Chain A
Amino acid sequence: MGEIKNILLVGVGGQGTILASKILSEGLIQAGYDVKMSEIHGMSQRGGNVSTQIRFGDKVYSPIVGKGEANIIVAFEKMEALRWFEYLKDDGIMVINDFEIPSVPIQQGTAKYPEGILEDLAAKAKVLVFKAGEIAEKVGNARTMNIVLLGALTKAMDLQGIDWESVIMANVKKGLEDINIKAFHAGADQVK
């Protein structure tokens, strides 16, 4: 049995994780992999966190990723990176969007947004940090942040053999195809 790869996309409702995972799974299917994908977004509209799990390989059984099994985690938000850290494999990569979305207890002053997350995680695992929102803005549309992160993911996972451009073209809003493709490459450029 060929090795199964595990990907986690984690963030907060409204950050575009769903579209990113849709493009990702379509690309992987086109490349001939067996793909399973699992989304939990129960209370996202009401401020909850969202997570998408994607597993691919020759034959995939479980649709969900266990602790210590993720080859890569893309955290669309910093505190979510911390929340999901124990799902990362010892030698996995954590891509972190350097962006904070406080949760309600933090907003109301009953809890504090944890400090020093990036330093702490970087000391323990392979971590790649950048500001995807700013890159998206530079490309010309802040809402392409999810595609910036997707670009980084595909490069970090060595999935460049797949024709991502056509999958992106088929899945983003009409008229925004070029800007999304630019965002995708700008994200990939973050991975050296």
Chain B
Amino acid sequence: MKVLMTGNEAIVRGAYEAGLTIASAYPGTPSTEILENLVNYKDDIYCEWAPNEKVALEVAIGASIAGARSMAAMKHVGVNVAADPLFTFAYTGVTGGCVLVSADDPGMHSSQNEQDNRNYATAARILMLEPSDSQEAKDFMMLGLELSERFDTPVMIRMTTRVCHSKSMVEIGTRVEKPLIPYERKIAKYVATPANGKVLRKQLIDRLKRMEKYSNTAPINKAEYNDTKIGVISAGIAYQYAREVFGEEASYLKLGMTFPMPMDLITEFAGKVEKLYVIEEMDPYMENQIKMAGIQCIGKEIIPEMDELNTDIVRKAVFGTDTGVLQSEKVAVGRPPVLCAGCPHRGFFYALRKKKNIIITGDIGCYTLGSAAPLSAMDTCFCMGGSISAGHGAAMALKKGGSDKKVVAVIGDSTFFHSGVNSLMDVVYNKGNSVSVILDNRITAMTGHQDNPGTGYTLMGESTREVDIPMLCRAIGIKDENIYTVNPLLLDETGKVLDEALSKDEPAVIIARYPCVLKAFTDQDKEEFDLRPKKCYIDQEKCTKCKVCVKTGCPAIFSGEQITIDQGPCTGCTVCMQVCKFDAIREVE
């Protein structure tokens, strides 16, 4: 039976059919749906959200060593976090097959950078497969687990946004159970001391040779000979663009396994074609290896080295044909993402932006939108967990340099559990004085509402113990009197707490606790917070059109001839009501 599936769904199907039993991940676009779908097979596969990607990969590694087929999934930048175990796992190898799915995001649809994770395969020396549609995503997942066991190596499946999120037809099969491989203690293999490491390092070189030999004969690295005037080497989604642009005439070498590269096969192919193109998205990853082997080819001289490719770009680059497109002189106004109506982050940032003489180090999540106008209350954001540690560094620099500026670090609950906890330890341990704000909206909102260690539920839908953030801060060493919990939708209170925390010359933590308006409220949420549906409206007789309410950036407020509140999206959070000086905004009775 054939079914239309996204690449992510196909990865899941492949894992299921190949008898995988353990999976761990941390959410991140475009990889998130992998575990969200895998959990549909929870009777057969144990699935979990880890607090971060390093933990997720280590869980998969442990499962493999214990004899199960396992996987970890993450977005490209997640592999940076997981890189430490990955590089040594390449030395030790596996027991049960283990696959790391890396979902790259060329064009940065929803990421902070567009790094090309194929470079990790070469750097860590792990076998890499690159599917270019959903069928391949499924097939390569199954093959990946098999190759992992055959070559005793972790396997990376490198996806990109268009492979993850595009749908194409997939043939469905049945699951083959893989019983646990009986455990044997193998100290020399799995304890990476320098002495063992040196032996493992040599074995890795041998394994590389065996893997390259396989790559040269692997059925997923296939040549398609047509006219040999033009030859094209391509992989991943770029192959689809190339295949369409060069059409039936050209010859192709389509690579499914891109580390180690099948250099013999490439040499043979290059020898048979007159003009050789290498079409790949982002880095000249294949091209550099091909050129290093002394083979002439055309690649990044014409193909852009950044952003996504498509047929359009490839056609223009290769044939110089610009079809000329329809154009209008009118300009469509953007639809920048904004904090939702009723978002608890809005109240907090509105209170924060009133504070002067501070640097606000931010982090990654919905709350990064607090950096956008009209709130504009954030100075930095670069990686998950960086706000508190960069904030500490900034605070120390300011102090040492004689500045009286203070630092407020702003971080979400999921991001705090991801790696912000370590940063907070640094602040306390090294006697910093920054204020760390944990925006605890009771969920991982940005990536589509995943549970996390603070929500009380697991990915498999079971209720569980939750992290007590104030108690955790206390344990780290923040003084009791410097830990504040506040409802960020209450502006005066939030402002006061900020003043108090900023007045201290020692580490302080503010926990802004209120659930995301879009999340499915748990019984605990309903008990703790007043979540009855409410609405606000503007009394036009009292409204002076001062537009202070508009400056909250709420998407339910319309500023035209009159200022009005759209009753649809309004949640009655009352932030606008609190900022109105003319008592013109009321709650609907």
| Residues on A facing B (Cβ under 8 Å) | 1, 12, 25-26, 29, 34-40, 42-43, 45-49, 60-64, 66-69, 79-80, 82-83, 85-88, 90, 102-114, 116-117, 120-121, 124-125
Using known A-B contacts A66-B311, A125-B326, determine if residue A46 contacts B366 with beta carbons closer than 8 Å.
yes
Min CB–CB distance A71 → chain B (angstroms) = 13
Min CB–CB distance B566 → chain A (angstroms) = 9
Tell me if A69 and B337 are in contact (CB < 8 A): no
Task: Mark contacts of B162-182 with chain A using CB atoms, 8 A cut-off: 1 yes-contact digit, 0 otherwise.
Answer: 100111110000000000000
Q: Which residues in B have their C-beta under 8 angstroms from that of A121?
A: 328
Q: Which residues in A have their C-beta under 8 angstroms from that of B330?
A: 82, 114, 116-117, 120
Min CB–CB distance B575 → chain A (angstroms) = 15
Once the chains are docked, how many angstroms separate the CA of A47 from the CA of B550?
16
> In chain A, what residue has the closest Cβ to B372?
A104
Once the chains are docked, how many angstroms separate the CA of A165 from the CA of B344?
44
Once the chains are docked, how many angstroms separate the CA of A90 from the CA of B327?
10
Tell me if A68 and B339 are in contact (CB < 8 A): no
**B: interface residue count bin:** 35 or more
> In chain B, what residue has the closest Cβ to A66?
B312
Q: Which residues in A have their C-beta under 8 angstroms from that of B373?
A: 110
Using known A-B contacts A47-B555, A62-B244, determine if residue A105 contacts B336 with beta carbons closer than 8 Å.
yes
Tell me if A61 and B324 are in contact (CB < 8 A): no
* B477 part of interface (Cβ distance < 8 Å): no
Once the chains are docked, how many angstroms separate the CA of A103 from the CA of B366?
18
> In chain B, what residue has the closest Cβ to A12?
B335
* B369 part of interface (Cβ distance < 8 Å): yes
* B340 part of interface (Cβ distance < 8 Å): yes
> In chain A, what residue has the closest Cβ to B547?
A109
* B557 part of interface (Cβ distance < 8 Å): yes
* B520 part of interface (Cβ distance < 8 Å): no
Q: Which DSSP category, helix, strand, loop or mixed, fits chain A's interface?
A: mixed
* B553 part of interface (Cβ distance < 8 Å): yes
Q: Which residues in B have their C-beta under 8 angstroms from that of A109?
A: 547, 550, 559-560
Tell me if B332 and A83 are in contact (CB < 8 A): yes
Q: Which residues in A have their C-beta under 8 angstroms from that of B337?
A: 43, 46-48
Tell me if B168 and A36 are in contact (CB < 8 A): yes
* B374 part of interface (Cβ distance < 8 Å): yes
Q: Which residues in B have their C-beta under 8 angstroms from that of A82?
A: 328, 330-332
Once the chains are docked, how many angstroms separate the CA of A81 from the CA of B387?
40
* B216 part of interface (Cβ distance < 8 Å): no
Tell me if B109 and A40 are in contact (CB < 8 A): yes
Which of A35, A39, A49, A67 has the most B CB atoms < 10 Å from its CB? A67
Tell me if A63 and B369 are in contact (CB < 8 A): no
Min CB–CB distance B6 → chain A (angstroms) = 8
Tell me if A68 and B323 are in contact (CB < 8 A): yes
Taking CB atoms and an 8 Å cut-off, the chain B residues in 303-329 that contact chain A are: 310-313, 315, 323-329
* B471 part of interface (Cβ distance < 8 Å): no
Using known A-B contacts A38-B166, A43-B110, determine if residue A68 contacts B336 with beta carbons closer than 8 Å.
no
Which of A42, A109, A117 has the most B CB atoms < 10 Å from its CB? A42
Tell me if B167 and A103 are in contact (CB < 8 A): no
Q: Which residues in B have their C-beta under 8 angstroms from that of A117?
A: 328, 330
Residue A62 contacts which of B4, B311, B329, B560 (CB distance < 8 angstroms)? Answer: B311
Tell me if A88 and B162 are in contact (CB < 8 A): no
Min CB–CB distance A86 → chain B (angstroms) = 4
> In chain B, what residue has the closest Cβ to A86?
B325
Tell me if A85 and B110 are in contact (CB < 8 A): no
Once the chains are docked, how many angstroms separate the CA of A132 from the CA of B369?
33
Tell me if B326 and A85 are in contact (CB < 8 A): yes
List 18 contacting pairs A-B, 8 Å CB cutoff, sorted by A: A12-B335, A25-B167, A36-B167, A36-B168, A37-B4, A37-B167, A64-B162, A66-B311, A82-B328, A82-B332, A85-B326, A85-B327, A86-B325, A87-B325, A104-B336, A106-B333, A107-B559, A120-B329
